[in-house]
Amino acid sequence: MKINSNYDKIQNSYLFVEIANRVKKYTAAHPDADIIKLGIGDVTRPLAPCVVEAGLKAVAEMGRVETFRGYSPDSQGYEFLRDAISRYYSLFGVKVAPHEIHVSDGAKSDCGNIVDLFDSDNTVLIPDPVYPVYLDSNVMSGRKIIFCDATEENDFAPLPDKKVKCDIIYLCAPNNPTGSVFTYDKLKAWVDYANSLGAVIIFDAAYEAFVTQPDVPRSIFAVEGARTCAIELCSYSKTAGFTGTRCGYTVVPDELLGGKLAKMWARRQSTKFNGTSYIQQRMAEAAYSDEGIRQCRENIAAYQKNAKLISDALTEMGVYHTGGVNSPYIWLKCGTDSWDFFDRLLEGANVVGTPGSGFGKNGEGYFRLTAFNTYEKTKEAIERIKKVL
Ligand code: PLP
């Protein structure tokens, strides 16, 4: 037996483990410390009431012989949900047909699994810093990786370098961890670049619901030319609070390699995936009802309020930062090594954030704060941070 030796090339995912260890050590020495966590990328507000109601109704259906459901008819997702997603896209002027939508158990699985469609000989372009799954899943399958620098100079939203050749491009906007976005023109530059190379863009739109700027597309398919070069991944985790219940989807447009990639993805999913639960899909559908959209937006607005609180305070303190406007993440320049800053905040303010260096080399010297705690805790954390900065 030979193992996949590419796993030896993956960096230890020590970021959140190391954070937990440092916090544990600190609280062991200071048991009375009131730690505020602004490091988590997980939601804290409960599911919208109409989503819960739809879930309960679906559970009840499963308990009656007339309405019980086993495996879904196909792994792509129930039509009722794909129709609802398609209608949602039309709300912001984007045409995506239900048959182009593939429902899944979340964007992370799709990020990792989509690489099955591509030869290991492809060169992959990944922005740095970014959500680490893109890098790790391609290292696991042995692909050549090149990085694209996201820095303060380009507002952490780099443009393509036309001299660089690649086959697969990852873009994440609004970005985790920097909160940066691509305006229509910037995203169009990527689409044109990908089309000129015959490359594919894997566009991660997990935070689309946080976009507030009118010139920032919430879907790559709002950009002319994207249907011949892009796959879009999306998640309900931060939009509807499904981090614990799990649902997401991927859009593979008909025009991509004349429909071949859509067929391959459907084939891959039907071979290796048996679909998202009926109950979960009914909950996702409920999030698209008028009331569902309103209730989910209320939760998002609460996170946005926290993000603004953090961002305004940093502006007042004269600290360079991005994010917060179209994103639940605030990316600040700490002026020191990211881990030193982590210790300073933990020890001086009892506030936990995430060192930027955990998201790539360009993250060194930066720090991520998240808006997912309560308003009161966020406010308190800011007051404490002000005292140590
Ligand atoms: N994509 C990005 C950019 C994320 O930040 C996350 C979660 O933090 C995910 C995908 C994962 O989404 P899901 O919970 O749907 O798997």
Closest alpha carbon to 183 in 204, 153, 203, 213? 213
Q: What is the pLDDT of residue 383?
A: 97
Between strands 248-251 and 351-352, the pairing is: unpaired
| pTM for the model | 0.97
Q: What is the pLDDT of residue 46?
A: 97
User: Reduced to 3 states, what is the DSSP secondary structure of residue 321?
Assistant: strand
Q: What is the pLDDT of residue 31?
A: 96
3-state secondary structure 339-363: HHHHHHHHHHHCEECEEHHHHCHHH
- Residue pair 337/364 in contact (Cβ under 8 Å)? The answer is yes
- Expressed in angstroms and rounded, the spacing between residue 124 Cα and the centre of ligand 1 is 20
Is residue 237 lining ligand 1, measured as CB closer than 6 Å?
yes
Q: What is the pLDDT of residue 250?
A: 98
Query: 52: Cβ–Cβ under 8 A, 6 or more apart, which residues?
Result: 46, 283
Q: Please state the φ and ψ torsions of residue 45, each to the nearest 5 degrees.
A: -80, 145
Cα gap 230→218, rounded to integer Å = 14
Is residue 113 lining ligand 1, measured as CB closer than 6 Å?
no
Helices (H), 165-277: 184-197, 260-272
- Residue pair 261/291 in contact (Cβ under 8 Å)? The answer is no
Counting as low any pLDDT under 70, the low residues of the chain are none
Q: What is the pLDDT of residue 61?
A: 98
Closest ligand 1 atom to 110 CA: 16
56-67 pLDDT, tens digit each: 999 999 999 999
Q: What is the pLDDT of residue 176?
A: 97
- Expressed in angstroms and rounded, the spacing between residue 318 Cα and the centre of ligand 1 is 31
284-315 pLDDT, tens digit each: 999 999 999 999 999 999 999 999 999 999 99
Best residue among 85, 103, 108 to mutate for probing ligand 1, ranked by most atoms within 8 Å of CB:
108
- Expressed in angstroms and rounded, the spacing between residue 76 Cα and the centre of ligand 1 is 20
Q: What is the pLDDT of residue 12?
A: 76
Cα gap 383→388, rounded to integer Å = 9
- Expressed in angstroms and rounded, the spacing between residue 193 Cα and the centre of ligand 1 is 26
Q: What is the pLDDT of residue 293?
A: 96
CA 86, 291, 301, 129 torsion-angle sign: negative
Q: Please state the φ and ψ torsions of residue 64, each to the nearest 5 degrees.
A: -120, 135
Q: Is 77 exposed, middle or buried (0-12, 13-18, 19+ CB in 10 A)?
A: buried
Q: Whose CA is nearest to atom 15 of ligand 1?
A: 106
Longest dimension (CA), the chain: 63
Q: What is the pLDDT of residue 73?
A: 86
- Expressed in angstroms and rounded, the spacing between residue 51 Cα and the centre of ligand 1 is 20
